[in-house]
Amino acid sequence: MSETHEGVHRHPAPTGFIRKYIFSIDHKVIGIQYIILALVAVLVGMVMSLLMRMNLSWPGTSWPILGTLFPTGAPGGQMTPEFYLSLVTMHGTIMVFFVLTTAPQGGFGNYFLPIQIGAEDMAFPVLNMLSFWVTLVGFIVILLAIFVEGNQGLGEWFAGLGPSFAGGSGTVGPIGGWTGYAPLSALGKIAGPGQGAGMNLWVISIAIFCVGSLLGALNFITTLLNMRTKGMSLMRMPLTCWAWFTTAVLALLSFPVLLGGGILLLLDRIANTSFFIPGGLYVTGLLSGTNPNFPLHTGGSPILWQHLFWFFGHPEVYIAILPGMGATSHILATFARKPVFGYRAMVFAIFAIGLLGFFVWGHHMFMSGMSPYSAIAFSVLTLSIGVPSAVKTFNWLGTLWGGRIRFTSAMLFALGFVSLFVAGGITGLILGQSSLDLPMHDTYLVTAHFHLVMGVASIFGMFAALYFWFPKMFGRFMSESLGRIHFWLTFIGVYAIFVPMHIMGIVGMPRRFSSFTEYEYLRTLDPLVMLVTVAAIITIGAQLLFYFNVVWSVFKGKRVENDNPWEATTLEWNTATPPPHDNFAGVLPVVYHGPYEFAVPGAPRDYVMQTDMEAEVPSGNGHNGHKH
């Protein structure tokens, strides 16, 4: 270790299981807790998607187990339309919030941001712990939402909480899509099944989640601004840190808006205010104000909810992808044994994406009845956001160019990320054009678009990150051979699932349909629907390999024998494995180099770690005659 300063670390390592592993304030433990949360959540989400596909491909078939699990949602094991819709809603919500907004940022970010900038912990460890536990509560609440309706068991208990909590006519959860458009989501149970207790819990869960992520974001930003170690200037930070930082800024500015909207929505539901509910509604035979079950509402604006939601919603999708982009850049450079191509351009691109991300939310609302003029503005801005994304793509290719690529599982998934991000991203250029959104809005083309880019590209980013950092986190490798099989199956699988969905969209298959049997013009698509389902079943099955690999490797995986198994350059690789409680055993590292110094001519090894000193100091690299 080159030099020491500020040796003392503030909080001594806790002893005792609870403080060490449960209510820990160690960012590393919290990171792992987030990852476990994501692993559980994604399992739930996947099973739901499996049921959805089963229902779409074999409508009306009865699956006995379901009958016993969800007597109201799937009587006799036959999935009802409302059961399907609540699956869609929960699938989307869980995947977006509890998978893609937890592990990439709260998980890997939490674990590695402080280490990569050479800090001994997060700026506010206690807030950090809180942010996890709040998020966990949010997750538990959303799971409850599945079981509260149908006026039996839990549902009965909730009905006790008051009229707006009384169950609908029997479903398994909220029905509103993950976007919860008002007034459907605001009217309460007169609007049909899935609008009772479940929907309340959905809103509450989202609100709780917002608070959790805000605490996290606060911590990330402060830590990065305040706690970089000596020599870790901004332009020497790994791209992962830039990504996590930008993500945190996006979260910090967008989640409060959703929180505000959520509060308004909740008030509309339980305090019968009229923020989103217009006057003169006539719902299921009742006119607003003429019946105790349907109190008077006036003058609310349904589109207002969409604006609030999407002002959050679009930045949210970049919150979901940026950490993946960071990890990909990091891993591509490491295993191509080559500096990142156009480091600065990458940093600017991340920023441009983050900034533009706040001005394009209207592209989700072209058909909402919003002003057609603003639609045009949103549309053009939306296409310009493709530019920084393309720049990143080019730079990834540039990083590979001339490299000496080592195909570890992590690298495979990083390469998969690039492939899938392009595949999903470019369809954004179709949806972004207001004209083309006329036929394409709310069809499966949208579903295809966001699954490729979010549903799997971001997820691939997480896979890559886990295979890459697992050795540092647990001192053991994940099985490479299992990893490879997992990659091949998943990579091919997701192409097979989501590419055909584009065709469905072009033919005009609408989203959120629990069955396509009603429409003649969709008949021709039956073979594709089946193909997608089969591919989905295989792909989801393949994930069991992954889960097995994780669990098995934690205990039985091949031990890492040195602290830098990948021959990487950043700080996490020159501390112990796994890192000590204060990350650097009381001796903070000093940084002399940029983050990706591979294949440096004349250097004895093909990588120069950020902490390596040099005898001969080339001019103008800011050393200021630093003494060692």
Residues that bind ligand HEA (CB under 6 A): 35, 38-39, 42, 46, 49, 52-53, 88-89, 91-92, 95-96, 99-100, 103, 177-179, 317, 320-321, 363-364, 382, 385-386, 389-390, 393, 422, 425-426, 428-429, 431-432, 437, 440-442, 446-447, 449-451, 453-456, 458-459, 462-463, 466, 490, 494, 497, 511-513, 536, 539-540, 543, 546
Q: How far is the CB of 412 from ligand HEA (least distance, A)?
A: 14
Preceding omega of 578 cis (within 30 degrees of 0): yes
Question: How far is Cα of residue 416 from the mean position of the Cα atoms in its chain?
Answer: 17
Closest CA to 207 of 260, 156, 165: 260
Task: Give the footprint of another protein on residues 519-558 (CB under 8 A).
Answer: 519-521, 524-525, 528
| Three-class secondary structure assignment of 219-249 | HHHHHHHHCCCCCCCHHHCCHHHHHHHHHHH
CB of 199 to another protein, least distance (A): 12
Q: Of these partners, ligand HEA, Cu ion, another protein, none, which one is at the site of residue 585 (CB under 5 to 8 Å by kind)?
A: none
Contact call for residue 28 and Cu ion (CB under 5 A): no
Pick one of ligand HEA, Cu ion, another protein, none as the site partner of residue 605 (Cβ within 5 to 8 A by kind). Answer: another protein
β-pairing verdict for 597-598 and 607-608: antiparallel
163: tokens are 């009229």
Q: Which residues in the 216-275 window bind another protein by CB under 8 A?
A: 217-218, 221-223, 225-231, 233-236, 252-257, 259-261, 263-264, 267, 271-275
Binding test (CB under 8 A) with another protein, winner from 77, 475, 508, 565: 508
Contact of 611 with 154, CB cutoff 8 Å: no
Q: Minimal distance in Å, beta carbon 349 to another protein?
A: 9
Alpha carbons 327 and 350: distance in angstroms, whole number: 13
Name which of ligand HEA, Cu ion, another protein, none residue 446 binds, using a CB cut-off of 5 to 8 Å depending on partner kind: ligand HEA
From 25-33, 43-51, 306-314, 532-540, give the range in contact with another protein by CB under 8 A: 306-314
Nearest distance, CB of residue 427 and Cu ion, angstroms: 12
* Torsional sign, CA 55, 59, 61, 66: positive
User: Taking CB positions, which residue lies at the least distance from Cu ion?
Assistant: 314
**Sign (positive or negative) of CA dihedral 551, 556, 561, 565:** negative
The distance of closest approach from Cβ of residue 281 to another protein in the complex, given in angstroms and rounded to an integer, is 6
Which position among 72, 246, 247, 427 is part of the footprint of another protein (CB under 8 A)? 427
Residue 536's binding partner among another protein, Cu ion, ligand HEA, none (Cβ under 5 to 8 angstroms by kind) is ligand HEA
Count of residues that interact with Cu ion, criterion CB under 5 A: 1
Q: How many residues does the chain have?
A: 628
State yes or no: cis peptide before 278, omega within 30 of 0.
Answer: no
Q: Are 112 and 579 in contact (CB under 8 A)?
A: no
DSSP at 565:
T
Binding-site size, another protein (CB under 8 A): 195
286 backbone dihedrals φ, ψ, rounded to 5°: -120, 135
Taking CA 390 as the corner, what is the angle to CA 352 and CA 117, rounded to the nearest 5 degrees? 55
Q: Report the DSSP beta bridge partners of residue 286.
A: 283
441 lines the binding site for Cu ion (CB under 5 A): no
Residue 69's beta-bridge partner residues?
A: none
Beta carbon of residue 322, minimum distance to ligand HEA (angstroms, whole number) = 9
| Residue 269 near residue 199, CB atoms below 8 Å | yes
Cβ closer to ligand HEA: 40 or 283? 40
Q: Which of another protein, Cu ion, ligand HEA, none does 447 bind, CB closer than 5 to 8 A by kind?
A: ligand HEA
37 binds, among another protein, ligand HEA, Cu ion, none (CB under 5 to 8 A by kind): none
The two tokens of residue 221 are 């930003």
Q: What single DSSP character describes residue 286?
A: E
**Buried b / exposed e along 468-492 (16+ C-beta atoms within 10 A):** bbbbbbbbbbbbbebbebbbebbbe
Q: Which of residues 465-484 bind another protein (CB under 8 A)?
A: none
Tell me: does residue 449 bind Cu ion (CB under 5 A): no
Q: Report 121-150 residues binding another protein (CB under 8 A).
A: 123-124
Tell me which of another protein, Cu ion, ligand HEA, none is bound by residue 510, counting a contact when its beta carbon lies within the kind-specific cut-off of 5 to 8 angstroms.
another protein
Scan residues 295-324 and list those touching Cu ion (CB under 5 A): 314
112, with CB counted inside 10 A (0-12, 13-18, 19+), is buried
> Least distance from C-beta 314 to Cu ion, angstroms?
4
Phi, psi angle pair for 282, to nearest 5°: -130, 100
DSSP three-state, residue 353: helix
Shortest gap between Cβ of 551 and another protein (angstroms)? 26
Q: How far apart are CA 218 and CA 444, in angstroms?
A: 37
Q: Shortest Cβ distance from residue 324 to ligand HEA (Å)? A: 8
- Residues 4-23 touching another protein, rule: CB under 8 A, are 5-6
Residues near Cu ion (CB under 5 A) are: 314
